[in-house]
Structure 1
Amino acid sequence: MGDILVGTCSWTDTALLAAGWYPPGLRDAEGRLRHYTSRFPVVEVDATYYALPSLRNSHLWAERTPDGFRFDVKAFSLMTGHPTRPTSLPADLRPALASSRGGRTGYDEVDAGLLDEVWQRFRGALEPLRAADRLGTLLFQFPPWIAPGPRAETFLKRCGERAAGWPVAVEFRHPDWWREDRYAATHALLADAGMSAVAVDMTQTLPVSIPPVTPVTAPRLAVVRFHGRNSAWGSGTKEERFRHTYSTAELTEWVPRLHAMAERADRLHVLFNNCCADAAVRAAESMRGLLGLPAGPEGQERQERQERQERQERQEDGGSPENART
């Protein structure tokens, strides 16, 4: 079975900072990240959706995290076909985006030269994470207007070409990608491109609800994102869309699914996106317990030290594990 890493989709969300999950006195970025890594082994970076990542931040994140920790980095909005404001780009690239109506062209109509430059800067800024073996995957969250069809498939393949050599996970927001009659084709499309599919948990009461399928399309990595089960999905404020406290029963129903996915992948990332107050970290802690996992890389190291010590003590006593229990 592959390794299962459980975490959240942010460690800097303002609602989380105000919720009291971080110990008193941890007001600096380094202290908060180090505390997070003592509890969880993976986190999603969502700030890179709103602006291109910073080379300096990548260096700092690599320096401040232990071996084994992973960052899943969300792709910049322009790279996934979302509307993008010129002000979210570096100043020298803004005129090119402004000339294409502020990024509000069709998702595959942005100037190819601009996209190439954005991709180059995006990859370059994340190189320290990859070099330090801290990069889990690049997360491509495609908007709901990217529906199955030749146009969307061509766009997806172009994204794959630009991301060549980098790990990529894909989350579709149009439900038809994973409908029963389309499932096999979508699975094959991602598998052929070497991209990891993202499974999601969300409310199933809406026309836009993504089916609760659990595809594994790349043996290296599988990803599950828990969005909460709020019926306000797709409308209202962020807090309204993602406000949900997972019950033990709701989490427990996913345990066999996660184990089954981990059987088919070297590593499984389980990320909670119900980022209202401390709901995501609490759900992640609960899921970690249900799966019988230790807390973060440091927790894993503590467990391994304890197991080594117990083995050594049994050897010194001249007994087997069975003898040690009697």
Structure 2
Amino acid sequence: MTLSGRDAYRDELTRLAEADRRILCLEADLGGKNHPFQLKHPERFFNLGIAEAAMVDMAAGLASAGFKPFVSTFAPFAALRAAESLKLTLGYLAAGVTVVAPYSGVSGAWFGTTHHCLEDLAVLRAFPGVVIAAPHGEAETRAVIAAAVASGRPHYVRTGRNAAYESLPWGDPVAWEAAGGELCLVSVGEEGTRLCLEARHRRPGLAHAHLPYVDHEHLAAAAVELERLHARFVVVEEHRAQGGVAEALALLMPTARVAGVNAGTGWPSEGGDHAEVMAALGLDLRAVLAAVDG
């Protein structure tokens, strides 16, 4: 059975911790009773409760002592509530802490509007030196977590809620599904990639590139590869236009035409079904196809 991104993270970290006793898992009351890391490595699992900033600060201290702490909480509480702690820990100190943030975008729609997070990439991309990943599918999530363990660099990893997807063939900085032609779809994250795959099903000739990493360093490398093959791009991301990947790529590729399909500037007024909330923000298949034809 294919695992969701957040479950793939937990399973992969539990597996990697078998061989590396420096790996620690910190959670902000998300783990439940059957968290695989807690069951397998109880002495290295810490539930800090709803104290997100304190959890990140604690991880900074653990990293300075030689451990490899992974911390996890809802994306809005990781990227926004604990933003100052992230700035100091991941940015200023460049501590080897990995923050895994599920329920990104509006994937936590059932919990209401307080749990929406459409600004996290803008916040984290403003902190130099942080590796930012938005993996799609189980295999890609596992690869990102394994790379974070091996590198020791500060990471922010964005996932959804329960949706489970098969990953595209791994590629860094670009995972190509298909290339060729003037126009290329560029997808970010789980739902952006889902929409691009649906668009290619409707228009089989479209090129599609998926970006596993979206920090400046990786985007600069991806831009060189993208611009070598295409001149026009439609970037699909479950994020606001401001501070998003389309905006970043437009600056990195000034001679290319870059359009974005995203959550726009509106504020979701209701929770509910994930796809319905995305559509209410103008982020659906119809919007992607309209941008392709535009």
Fold conserved (TM > 0.5)? no
- Pick the structure with greater CA Rg: 1
TM superposition score category, shorter chain reference: 0.3 to 0.5
TM-score scaled by length of structure 1: 0.30
Q: Name the TM-score, length of structure 2 as normaliser.
A: 0.32
- Answer 1 or 2: higher relative contact order, Cα 8 Å, separation at least 6: 1
